[in-house]
Structure 1
Amino acid sequence: MKYFYVFALCLVFGLKPDLVQAQKASWIWYPGDFDIWMSNKMQNRRTERGSFLPPFWKMDSHYVLVDFHKEFDLDKAEEVKLYVEGQYNVKIDGQALTGYPKTISIPAGHHKLSLKVYAQDRVPSILVKGTKVVSDDTWLATFEDKEWIDASGKVSDKSGTIFVSAGSWNMTDPLMPPSKFQLPVVPAFAVNKTKQDKGLISDFGKETFGFIKLHGLKGKGKLNIYYGESKEEALSKDHCETLDLLELDISGVKDSVMALSKAFRYVNCQPEGNVSLDSVSMLYEYAPVTEKGSFACSDPQINKIYDVAKYTFHLNTREFFIDGIKRDRWVWSGDAYQSYLMNYYSFFDSPTVKRTLLAQRGKDPVTAHINTIMDYSFYWFLGINDYYQFTGDKKFIVDVYPRMKALMDYVLGRRNKDGLLEWMPGDWIFIDWADGLSKDGAVSFEQLLFCRSLESMALCADMAGDKDGAANYGQLATELKAKIFKLYWNENKHALVHSRIDGKATDNVTRYANMFGIFFNYFNPAQKLEVKQHVLLNDKVNKITTPYMRFYELEALCAMGEQDYVLKEMKDYWGGMLNLGATSFWEEYNPAKKGTEHLAMYARPFGKSLCHAWGASPIYLLGKYYLGVKPLSPGYETYEIEPALGGLQWMEGKVPVPGGEIAVYCSKKEIKVKSASGKGLLKFKSNSKPSVKGGVIVAKGNGSYELSVEKGKDYTVKYSI
Structure 2
Amino acid sequence: MIKPYLKQALATAAVLLALLSPAPAFAQRQATWIWYPGDYEIWLGNQMQNRRTERGSFFPVFWRMDSHYALIDFHQDFDLKQAEEVELRAEGQYNVKLDGKPLTGAPQRLTVPAGKHRLNIKVYNQAQVPAVFVRGKTIASDGAWLVTFEDKEWIDASGKTSDQSGTTWLTAGSWNFNDPQALPSAFKLKTEPQRAASVSCTPTGQVVDFGRETFGYVRLHGLRGKGQVALYFGESREEAMATETCETLDRLDVDQTQKADRLTTLSKAFRYVNIRPEAGVSFDSVSMLYEFSPVVQRGKFRSSDDQLNQIWDVAAYTMHLNTREFFIDGIKRDRWIWSGDAYQSYLMNYYLYFDTPTVNRTLFAQRGKDPVTSHINTIMDYTFYWFMGIYDAYQYTGDKKVIQQLYPRMQSLMAYCLARRNANGLLEGLAGDWIFIDWADGLSKKGEVSFEQLLFCRSLETMALCANLMEDQAGAAQYQQLATELKAKIFATYWDASKQALVHSRVNGQPTANVTRYANMFSIFFGYLSPEQQQQVKQSVLLNPEVAKITTPYMRFYELEALCALGEQPYVLKEMKSYWGGMLQLGATSFWEEYDPSKQGAEHYAMYGRPFGKSLCHAWGASPIYLLGKYYLGVKPLTPGYATYVVEPNLGGLQWMEGAVPTPQGDIAVAASPKQLKVKGAVGTGTLRFRSRSKPSCKGAKIRAKGNGQYEMQLEKGREYVVTYQALTK
- Fold shared by both chains (TM-score > 0.5): yes
| CA–CA distance in structure 2, aligned partners of residues 153 and 138 of structure 1 | 8
Please name the residue that 1:454 is paired with: 460
Q: Which amino acid aligns with 1:445?
A: F
Which string of whole-angstrom CA distances, capped at 9 and with x for unpartnered residues, describes residues 87-122 of structure 1? 111001111001111111111111111100000000
1:177-207 deviation line (CA, Å, top 9, x unaligned)? 1110000100011010010123111110000
What does 1:52-67 correspond to in 2, within 5 Å?
A: 52-67=58-73
Aligned pairs for 1:253-402 within 5 A: 253-402=259-408
Distance 1:680 1:165 in 2: 30
Partner of 1:114: 120
> Is 1:658 matched up with 2:681?
no
Pairing partner for 2:528 from 522, 528, 531: 522
Change (3 A) 1:386 1:480: same
- Confirm or deny: 8 A CA contact 1:140 1:163 kept in the other structure: no
In the alignment, is residue 37 of structure 1 matched against residue 47 of structure 2?
no
Q: Aligned partners of 1:401, 1:526: CA distance in 2, in Å? A: 37
AA paired with 1:73?
D
Q: CA deviation at 1:21?
A: 2.9
Amino acid at match of 1:488: Y
User: Aligned to 2:281, what secondary structure does the other structure show?
Assistant: coil
- Give the counterpart letter for 1:348 in structure 2: F
The answer to whether the aligner puts 1:5 opposite 2:11 as a matched pair is no
- Check if 1:183 corresponds to 2:193: no
* Cα distance in 2 between the residues matched to 1:398 and 1:83: 28
Equivalent of 1:470 in 471, 476, 493 = 476
- C-alpha distance in 1, partners of 2:168/2:612? 55
CA separation in 2, counterparts of 1:123 and 1:160?
Answer: 28
Compute the TM-score of the two structures, normalised by the length of structure 2. 0.96
Distance in structure 2 (CA, Å) of the matches to 1:115 and 1:160: 24
Residue 132 (structure 1) shift:
1.2
Structure 1 residues 21 and 337, CA gap change in structure 2 (3 angstroms):
same
Instruction: Please tell me whether residue 74 in structure 1 is matched to residue 108 in structure 2.
Output: no
> Could you tell me how far apart the structure 2 residues matched to 1:413 and 1:348 are?
36
For 1:424, which of 424, 430, 442 is the aligned residue? 430
3-state secondary structure, aligned to 1:56: coil
2:61 and 2:720 map into 1 onto residues whose CA distance is 51
In the alignment, which residue of structure 2 is the partner of 1:617?
Answer: 623
Letter in 2 for 1:323: D
SS at match of 1:591: coil
Residues of 2 paired with 1:97 and 1:629: CA distance?
57
1:533 match:
539
Is the contact between residue 291 and residue 347 of structure 1 (CA under 8 Å) also seen in structure 2?
yes
Specify the alignment match of 2:198 in structure 1.
Answer: 192
**1-structure distance, mates of 2:161, 2:715:** 43
CA distance in 2, matches of 1:283, 1:460: 43
What's 2:708 paired with?
Answer: 702
* Superposed CA offset, 1:316-373 (max 9, x none): 0000000000000000000000000000000000000000000000001111000000
The answer for the alignment partner of 1:232 in structure 2 is: 238
Q: Deviation string for 1:393-446 (max 9, x for gaps)?
A: 012212211110010000000000000000000100000000000000000000
Q: What are the Cα deviations for residues 35-67 of structure 1, in whole angstroms up to 9, with x where unaligned?
A: 000000000000000000010100000000000
Which of these residues, 487, 497, 503, is aligned with residue 497 of structure 1? 503
Residue equivalent to 2:419: 413
1:645·1:651 contact (CA, 8 Å) conserved in 2?
A: yes
Indicate yes or no: 2:695 matched with 1:685: no
- Aligned equivalents of 2:327, 2:559: Cα separation in 1: 22
Superposed CA deviations along residues 455-488 of structure 1, whole A, max 9, x for unmatched, are 0000000111111000000000000000000000
Alpha-carbon contact 2:72-2:122 (below 8 Å) kept = yes
Give RMSD over aligned pairs: 1.6
Residue identity in the other structure for 1:480: L
TM-score (norm 1): 0.98
Residue 565 of structure 1, aligned match among 568, 571, 585:
571
| Alignment partners' CA distance in 2, 1:134 and 1:151 | 12
Distance 1:466 1:322 in 2: 33
Q: Kindly state the Cα deviation for residue 19 of structure 1 after the two structures are TM-superposed.
A: 3.8
| Alignment counterpart, residue 547 of structure 1, candidates 548, 553, 574 | 553
Query: CA contact under 8 A between 1:4 and 1:162: conserved in structure 2?
Result: no
- Asked if the contact 1:149/1:155 (under 8 Å) is kept, the reply is yes
For residues 201-235 of structure 1, what are the alpha-carbon distances to aligned partners after superposition, in whole Å with 9 as ceiling and x for unaligned? 11100000011111111111111100000000000
Inter-partner Cα distance in structure 2 for 1:277 and 1:605: 31
- 1:284 deviation in Å? 0.5
- Code of the residue aligned with 1:506 in structure 2: it is T
Please give the residue correspondences for 1:186-225 in structure 2 after superposition, counting only pairs within 5 Å. 186-225=192-231
Out of 603, 608, 616, the position equivalent to 1:602 is 608
Mark the CA change 1:335 to 1:91 in structure 2 (over 3 Å): closer, same or farther: same
C-alpha distance in 2 between matches for 1:528 and 1:290: 38
What whole-Å deviation, never above 9, does each CA across 1:127-185 have from its counterpart, x for those lacking one? 11111111112211100001112579864025986687650001012112111000010
For the residues of structure 2 that align with 1:314 and 1:495, how far apart are their CA atoms? 37
Q: Once the 2 structures are TM-superposed, how far is the Cα of residue 22 of structure 1 from its aligned partner?
A: 4.8
* Rounded Cα–Cα distance in structure 1 between residues aligned with 2:368 and 2:102: 33
Q: How far, CA to CA, are the matches of 1:259 and 1:129 in structure 2?
A: 36
Which of 93, 98, 104 is the matching residue for 2:110?
A: 104
2:22/2:80 contact within 8 Å kept = no
Give the number of equivalent residue pairs. 717
* Structure 1 residue matching 2:107: 3-state secondary structure: coil
The answer for the alignment partner of 2:449 in structure 1 is 443
Q: Distance in 1 between matches of 2:202 and 2:389?
A: 47
Question: Could you tell me whether the CA contact under 8 Å between 2:450 and 2:494 is conserved in 1?
Answer: yes
Choose from 480, 483, 489 the match for 2:489. 483
**Aligned partner of residue 168 in structure 1, secondary structure:** coil
Aligned residue identity for 2:605: L
Measured at CA, do residues 18 and 217 of structure 1 come closer, stay the same or move farther in structure 2, by a change above 3 Å? Answer: closer
8 Å contact kept, 1:65–1:116: yes
2:496–2:502 CA contact under 8 A, matched in 1: yes
> 2-side partners of 1:662 and 1:153: how far apart?
31
Identity %: 66
Segments of structure 2 that go 5 or more residues without pairing to the other structure are 1-8
